[in-house]
Amino acid sequence: MEFFCPPKPGLLQVWGALSMCEGESTMAQSKGTVVLAYSGGLDTSCILVWLKEQGYDVVAYLANIGQKEDFEVARKKALALGAKKVYIEDVSREFVEKFIWPAVQANALYEDRYLLGTALARPCIAHKLVEIAQREGAQHVAHGATGKGNDQVRFELSCYALCPKIKVVAPWRLPEFYQRFPGRRELMDYAKKHGIPVPVTPQTPWSMDENLMHISYEAGILENPKNQAPPGLYTKTCDPAKSPDTPDVLEIKFERGVPVKVTNIGDGATRSSALELFVYLNDIAGKHGVGRIDIVENRFVGMKSRGIYETPAGTILHHVHLDIEAFTMDREVRKIKQGLSLKFSELVYNGFWHSPECEFVRECIGRSQEPVLGTVRLSVFKGQVYILGRESPRSLYNEELVSMNVQGDYEPADATGFININSLRLKEYHRLQSKVTVKQDE
């Protein structure tokens, strides 16, 4: 954690501030301290200044969750805009160990395709947001999530679960804010008026949100679901068609359903700490163009949205964990676990990470992972993950029992009774259907 206080103002700065206050009678009375989830971008920079206008003392909190960001520049920017303090918290390791690993254990997928990169990051960020608010004695927290998306729900449900008395300021849901700033042009004008630095290069015609697990692209020209992702959009993965012509062959070792070691068979490179392992898999998968999806999903608030995602390491781990789990887990236990995984994915997507039901589901899934131990060999090549083999001391696979060449401890004749019993229900159903059809024809 890094903690910063702004330097004491010089005499001219004090005089200027006093003059400004005398000239602006509309400045609101003090409302106490608010901790703002700050990104350093245009929106939260404008929100920081606007919160000060409303009478708040603003503490800025910037989470380092694996995104590409110049944190020193963001720190200086927040202080220059009037933040009382700036916290920069590196939560990358916590994100992997406490949020990504449970999702890997769960084989979490929302609506069969989305690996939940953003949804997993929000409760991790919110946890520190509330922690800082409590440390500062702040009664308020604030965020820059829009009023149409999922993130407002994820942030606020987490905050209320962790600190029921906290008050949330959500500017994009306040009429006095969104009516004043109906579009990006108004935000830019406000920024120029208040000395907020604005990008000098043209903005990409879509919005992006990045963390260690993934990057998402939405809005702008992507709102038309017919539009193909333009060249140059993807940043975490290369074009699979231009990826290396030689695959990377890896071995990933699991304990209790969690990856504990990766080995590159080609060059012998190994990684075993959670963060280093995940970063390494991001690099390998990104190099081979693994992890791209373009989907339309159902937001919790009730509308459909189009999102493009890159989840390199997450895609590798999803395929590999599925394989080692099927190899080591009892069939009927796995059926129950699959239902829990579906519920887990829905709860995480909708913002209920810190709910009692999600805690219960995570505990159940964690219990199911005790036998998920072993190593999977895989190839990463041209946008795909290919499973090559697996081994485990907890395997339920019996080579002799399943062999077509060895009878083993199995009597083929027993299958006749098994088939007869299972066909009884089908025979009775179709016998009845035949009677119904005859009566309808009469």
Give the model confidence (pLDDT) of 76-98 as tens digits.
999 999 999 999 999 999 999 99
Residue range 339-346: mean pLDDT, rounded: 98
217: left (phi over 0), alpha (psi -120 to 50) or beta: beta
pLDDT band at residue 435, thresholds of 50, 70 and 90?
confident
Residue identified by tokens 């004043």 is 180
369-407 tens-digit pLDDT: 999 999 999 999 999 999 999 999 999 998 878 877 777
Strands (E), 256-289: 258-264, 270-271
Residue range 4-31: mean pLDDT, rounded: 46
Cα 430 to Cα 436: distance, rounded to the nearest angstrom: 10
By annotation, the residues acting in catalysis are 43, 122, 151, 207
For residue 28, what pLDDT is reported? 62
pLDDT band at residue 204, thresholds of 50, 70 and 90?
confident
For residue 7, what pLDDT is reported? 45
25-34 tens-digit pLDDT: 445 678 999 9
Amino acid identity of 252?
Answer: I
Q: What is the DSSP letter of 100?
A: I
- What the block records as the tokens of 66 is 């694996």
- pTM equals 0.89
For residue 202, what pLDDT is reported? 59
CA distances, 433 to each of 170, 424, 425, 442 (Å)? 59, 14, 12, 15
pLDDT band at residue 19, thresholds of 50, 70 and 90?
very low
Residue range 199-227: mean pLDDT, rounded: 87
Amino acid identity of 19?
Answer: S
- Which has the closest alpha carbon to 267: 248, 243, 280, 287? 248
DSSP per residue, 216-240: EEESGGGGSTTSPPPTT---SS--G
Strands (E), 299-435: 304-310, 374-381, 384-391
- Which has the closest alpha carbon to 43: 195, 190, 222, 223? 190
Domains contained in the chain, CATH given: 33-194 (3.40.50.620), 207-329+371-391 (3.90.1260.10)
- What the block records as the tokens of 191 is 């920024």
Percent of the chain with pLDDT over 70: 92
Angle, helix 331-350 to helix 356-368, in steps of 10 degrees: 150
- What the block records as the tokens of 234 is 């993807």
Residue identified by tokens 């940043």 is 235
179-201 tens-digit pLDDT: 999 988 899 999 999 999 876 55
**Which residues does 208 contact at the CB level (< 8 Å), separation at least 6?**
215, 216, 217, 235
Cα 47 to Cα 241: distance, rounded to the nearest angstrom: 42
CA distances, 244 to each of 251, 263, 378 (Å)? 19, 19, 16
CA 419 to chain centre: 45
- Which has the closest alpha carbon to 364: 161, 102, 109? 102
Amino acid identity of 175?
Answer: P
Residue range 322-327: mean pLDDT, rounded: 98
Strand partners, 114: 110
For residue 168, what pLDDT is reported? 98
**Which residues does 366 contact at the CB level (< 8 Å), separation at least 6?**
102, 105, 256, 257
Report angle CA 274, 104, 235 to the nearest 5 degrees.
75
Residue range 409-428: mean pLDDT, rounded: 92
